[in-house]
Structure 1
């Protein structure tokens, strides 16, 4: 219990979440809840979540076959507790149902029909707990919200990126080949939407006493991020194509070379264009008809970008930071090594060292970007070992360990 007068850990403290997810999208969604104080219980199959075996591994870290985990698992399963439940056994199903009766939320990201095949559908579980928020994250959604030709297709990040529209507007050359975005946004975006939806549904439970089924499709979430392509096609018949490293409506706005790397500039109006031209030593550009307004700069994009790029190329990133930082919307393109040494991310708590059982040093993972004054969240517990918290979880639910299946004689 939190001592009187001290801040609670996270705004979701007291929310009990059963996490049946795997891979990246589902675990990231429940991680977001756990970061804000929810008690997320990772329900793993016998042997543990298969993503535990994904590296990289720190030297000396406990291996997968001893209940350990690699950096992938450690990053998105922090702040959670682990219990192994065999959902293919009758005893395991009974154990889950007993836990559901006392839980607030259940999250799963199996393919459509898997939970029904196990006899653990939303309808079955809601009969045991009408307040349950049951959240499903699938590639193309759940049939309850509308069955599509793709309902039963398996989907991973690049599939969602491709079909949700974001690949179609991404690429280094305007109108060129589509490009996959580096981070797994096809997983991470739907995870964010699902965490938001769970919080909204739990607020509804507080007012109505009734839980509900929550459904997020990976492809839908990516399309929601790409909302611009929808209204542009609807209003003007403009089809989506890769935008390159600039912006279709603003100039200069994008990536420019430095002598030792790249920088990003965003000049959305004349308020920033005129001082940029002076800093460049090119006050004449402020009066040049080709640069007199954003609309003119967009029409003469090749000229403007060539002038700006020729100037940035003569300077290092550090020189450009001194010339432009705080005066023009600007930032150097940082890589992981740069980020680890940048004072901003240290000050904001975005690089968090966590224990890695058996390892010679901590594993640093990305922290939460959400900061709250009264109920601060964040990373407070490393990812769990397989079944690490089974005893305490069973006691809290008033349950006994499920009988194990008899092993064959040697």
Structure 2
């Protein structure tokens, strides 16, 4: 592998999404990632080949029974030659299989160990799947129509976000030049990502309202119906508003403060104006003006619209890595079939 992380050796013991996504990001950037799977394989292999491929390209894979003495011996052999180990299991399993820095320090003192769990290593084994964490941290409560039930996005936002945070934590500890233990939890990552919402409540006592996907501070910044389709409009400052209002034929509401104070009036005026044309037409009209706007597309439509975001890894077509290296594009290798220990 080439790329900026070429030479970095990472072990992964995980399953399904958050941990495998974290190490795939590292592998995409050139790290040599060895996926340590149980004898039955990663659970995501049972979903579909394409699902597994979407989280495990550019890795090699070995099957190791960590519950057996021979499997522990093999783990220690792998650790001796590794820079980092990322584990995405329940806290009890992480401890039971000896996948912590304290347990592995005798075999490699400079090893960086990342424990990616749902609630933290000291919080027990309470199940922590993506949608459960969205419900527990307030995300579901602020998502959806104001008059409807709580809602969830259509993809695994918690797992993907936690994977990115875990990859960042691993690299930060590598840069420090010291081995050690890093802990990342899905709960902490999502509460961190609720940054300005949490700050508004903690400091000003302002709880977030469910606004049907509208931004809490910027107006108008939400989805609007048009003559055909919906348009995402994101007006964050007065310059954007002036350009949009002139094109849409709307007068007034010249400052951000006024638009926020008169949210319902502004939304009604924008909705009326946008009803005069199609979403794709508004997109074509507003983009040259520098106004942030996009017609709502389905995922198939988006993949057709942005073909450069698709790569081929063996027999599978997948989404491109999020941090491309245009100077030395990495070869995208397919997800590996696991070898025996």
Of residues 115, 139, 157, the one that matches 2:118 is: 139
1:108 is the counterpart of 2:92: no
Aligned pair count reads 340
Aligned to 1:161: 134
Of residues 353, 356, 369, the one that matches 2:312 is: 353
1:75 is the counterpart of 2:28: no
State how far apart, in whole Å, the 2-side matches of 1:89 and 1:326 are.
63
Aligned to 1:407: none
The 1:248–1:99 alpha-carbon spacing in structure 2 relative to 1, beyond 3 Å, is closer
Q: After superposition, where does 1:390-409 map in structure 2 within 5 Å?
A: none
State how far apart, in whole Å, the 2-side matches of 1:227 and 1:251 are.
19
Q: Which runs of 5+ in 2 are unaligned?
A: none
Contact 1:18 1:107 in 2 (8 A): yes
Aligned to 1:183: 155
Of residues 105, 122, 125, the one that matches 1:152 is: 125
State how far apart, in whole Å, the 2-side matches of 1:105 and 1:183 are.
28
Of residues 17, 23, 26, the one that matches 2:19 is: 26
Of residues 327, 332, 339, the one that matches 2:295 is: 332
1:320 is the counterpart of 2:277: no
State how far apart, in whole Å, the 2-side matches of 1:19 and 1:11 are.
19
Q: Deviations over 1:351-373 (max 9, x none)?
A: 112223xxxxxx22111121335
Contact 1:252 1:265 in 2 (8 A): yes
Shift of 1:380: 1.2
Aligned to 1:386: 338
Partner of 1:254, secondary structure, is: strand
Partner of 2:114, secondary structure, is: strand
TM-score by length of 2: 0.94
Of residues 313, 323, 326, the one that matches 1:370 is: 323
The 1:300–1:294 alpha-carbon spacing in structure 2 relative to 1, beyond 3 Å, is same
Contact 2:242 2:254 in 1 (8 A): no
State how far apart, in whole Å, the 2-side matches of 1:86 and 1:306 are.
61
TM-score by length of 1: 0.79
Partner of 1:239, secondary structure, is: coil
Contact 1:350 1:369 in 2 (8 A): no
The 1:261–1:79 alpha-carbon spacing in structure 2 relative to 1, beyond 3 Å, is same
Partner of 2:151, secondary structure, is: coil
Q: Higher Cα Rg: structure 1 or 2?
A: 1
State how far apart, in whole Å, the 2-side matches of 1:118 and 1:24 are.
20
Shift of 1:260: 2.2
Q: Deviations over 1:67-86 (max 9, x none)?
A: xxx21111010000111111
State how far apart, in whole Å, the 1-side matches of 2:169 and 2:102 are.
19
Q: Which runs of 5+ in 1 are unaligned?
A: 1-7, 56-69, 144-149, 357-362, 391-401, 403-410
1:204 is the counterpart of 2:163: no
State how far apart, in whole Å, the 1-side matches of 2:169 and 2:328 are.
20
